[in-house]
Amino acid sequence: MAQASTLHDAFLDELRDIYHAEKQITKALPKLVQAASDKSLAKAFADHLRETEGHVSRIEQTFDLLGESAQAKACEGMKGILDEGKSILQEDFDECARDATLIAAAQRVEHYEIAAYGALVAWARTMRHDAAADLLQKNLNEEKAADSRLSALAEGGINQSAAELAHPELSASVNNAPARNRKST
C-alpha cells in the first residue's frame, strides 16, 4: 500500500508549480513592456520583471533550504492566464483600452501568485520552515505591491482615459481629462 502524501509533499508540489509559473511570467513580461503605451505602465511591467527574476531566485533558495533540487512542475493555471493575456495583444484596441486590458490581465496573474504564495507561506510557517517562509513572504509582499501599483495606474487615469474614448460624453471637459503618459513612438 502506497504511503499517503503529506502537507510537505503538497508544499513541494505547490512550490514546483509557482516556480514554473514565475518562469513563464519572466517570458511574458517583456511583451507587456512593449505593448504598453503608457510610460508609467511600461515601467511598472519592467520593474516587475526584475522582481520576478528575484522571485525565481528566492524559490531556488527555498528548494536549497529544504534539501530539494529546484524542479518545475508545469503550471497549467498560469499558462491559461497568460494565454488569455496574449489574446489581448492580438486585439485591435485603441491605446487606452489596450493599457486598461493589459492591467486587468496582469492583475489576474498577480492574484494567482498572491493565492499561491499565501498558501506556501502559511504551510511553511505551520511546518516550521521559517527561513523558507521568510523568502516566500518577500515574494508575496512584492506581488501584493505590484497589484497595488497596477490598481493605482488604472485608477489614476488609464481606465478613465479608455472610458472617455469609448464614451466621449463621460469627459466633463478637455481641461479635466486625465493626462496620459504616452511612450514616444
Name the DSSP letter for residue 73.
-
pTM of the model: 0.87
User: pLDDT over 70 for what percent of the chain?
Assistant: 89
Angle at 44 between CA 120 and CA 174, to 5 degrees: 135
Whether the per-residue pLDDT at 137 is higher than 90: the answer is: yes
Per-residue pLDDT band for 102 (boundaries 50, 70, 90) equals: very high
Q: Which residues pair with 38 in a beta bridge?
A: 182
The CB density around residue 60, as the number of other CB atoms within 10 Å, is 14
Rounded Cα distance between 19 and 71, Å, is 8
Q: Which three cell numbers stand for residue 108?
A: 489576474
What pLDDT was estimated at residue 55?
A: 98
Report the CATH fold assignment for 7-170.
Answer: Ferritin (1.20.1260)
The amino acid occupying position 135 is L
The amino acid occupying position 24 is Q
Whether the per-residue pLDDT at 1 is higher than 90: the answer is: no
Per-residue pLDDT band for 169 (boundaries 50, 70, 90) equals: confident
Sequence ranges of the domains in the chain: 7-170
Q: Which three cell numbers stand for residue 168?
A: 466621449
Which residue is associated with the grid cell 489614476? 156
Rounded Cα distance between 160 and 177, Å, is 8
Rounded Cα distance between 92 and 39, Å, is 20
Rounded Cα distance between 13 and 38, Å, is 38
Per-residue pLDDT band for 16 (boundaries 50, 70, 90) equals: very high
Rounded Cα distance between 168 and 97, Å, is 14
